[in-house]
Amino acid sequence: MATATSSFDDPNPDSHHVAAATWGGRVRVWKKIFTTALSERLVYRGDFALGTLMRFLPIVTQIFLWWAIYDSIAASQAAEKMVESAVGGSELDPSTDAVQIGGFGFRDMVAYYLITMLARAFSSMPGLASGIALQIREGEIKRYLIQPIDLLSFLLINRIAHKVAYYAIAIAPFGLVFYLCRDYFVGGFPPPHLFIAFLGSLVMGFLIGFFLEAAIGMIGFWFLEVSSLLFLYMLFSFFLSGHMFPISLLPDSIEWFVNLLPLKYLAYFPAAVFLGKIPDEDLPMEMAIEAAWLTFFIVVCRWSYSRGVARYSGYGG
């Protein structure tokens, strides 16, 4: 089969020039994919803005639910001990601020859910695994085998363009909601080293979410249908990533096991870093473990793709 020749190839290359031209060509291709995908995503900017606001509505239910829980516990403690609750602030019921659950006060809990929604917006990859499996099943995967475009790079750049378009549009709704809820952040803005760690955890959470779901999609090379497996993953991710509640609320006998899983880096860990719930002496190790999980899923995803392509067969037009 004839090898496709890039328009950026040098006709008389030496070894170094070939490498430079190859990487230059790749960067141009990636830039073209990114700008095209970004333009496509910006078509739906109204949907992004409205969808962002709608995603904050469930947190109203969460605020009332947790307020009732904290208030009930505070009332019970007051009745039993016959003491007044020590409080701070003036806008909330002071009795709720005296109660701690899993290291979270009432305001911390509300702030946690706000940050968690931000983290999940980074790490969620709707339709990625099912889309890869569908392309394999329908034979669309063959276009990546005959064109000089890497499947994983193409999908990753598309997801980056999606996130850039989403946050460019959603920054106003996010800013409005966080401004209205600023009193719930009792610790204020985190110090610079925590904020840098928070940004790093968001970026690695995005990449872990991408390569983890892409690896699930690669199972389509061996099984025609992955929807059941994907549903199981989504179920565990919902409860064990910290999206539903902070992991520190789990019993000690379960929490240690959940902390061994990579799912907490999709939601719980970035929020805990921002709120200062991770001790400074543990933060470097936790960041290293998150980087190790990211490396692991990159290797698994690449290996699965190479092995899947090796056994893939396409017939017909």
Residue 91 in domain: no
Encode burial over 230-257: b for 16+ CB neighbours within 10 A, e otherwise. beebeeebeebbbbebbbbebeeeeeee
Asked if residue 133 lies in contact with residue 220, where contact means CB atoms within 8 angstroms, the answer is yes
Residue 48 in domain: yes
Tens place of pLDDT per residue across the chain (317 aa)? 333 333 334 444 444 444 445 777 778 888 888 888 888 877 777 777 777 777 777 777 878 888 888 888 888 777 776 655 555 555 555 556 677 887 888 888 889 988 998 888 888 888 899 899 998 888 888 888 887 788 899 999 999 988 888 888 778 778 888 888 888 888 788 899 999 999 999 999 999 999 999 999 999 888 878 888 888 888 888 888 888 888 888 888 888 898 899 999 999 999 999 998 898 899 999 999 999 999 999 999 999 999 998 888 777 65
Residue 42 in domain: yes
Domain of residue 294, residue span: 24-77+96-311
Asked if residue 186 lies in contact with residue 105, where contact means CB atoms within 8 angstroms, the answer is yes
Q: Is 313 exposed, middle or buried (0-12, 13-18, 19+ CB in 10 A)?
A: exposed
Residue 217 in domain: yes
pLDDT at 141: 84
- Number of structural domains (the chain) is 1
Residue 200 in domain: yes
Q: Tell me the per-residue pLDDT of 135-146, one tens digit each, with 9 for 90 and over.
A: 888 888 888 888
Residue 90 in domain: no
pLDDT at 6: 39
pLDDT at 12: 47
Residue 86 in domain: no
Residue 237 in domain: yes
pLDDT at 76: 79
Residue 304 vs residues 24, 65, 307, 312: alpha-carbon distances, Å: 27, 43, 5, 12
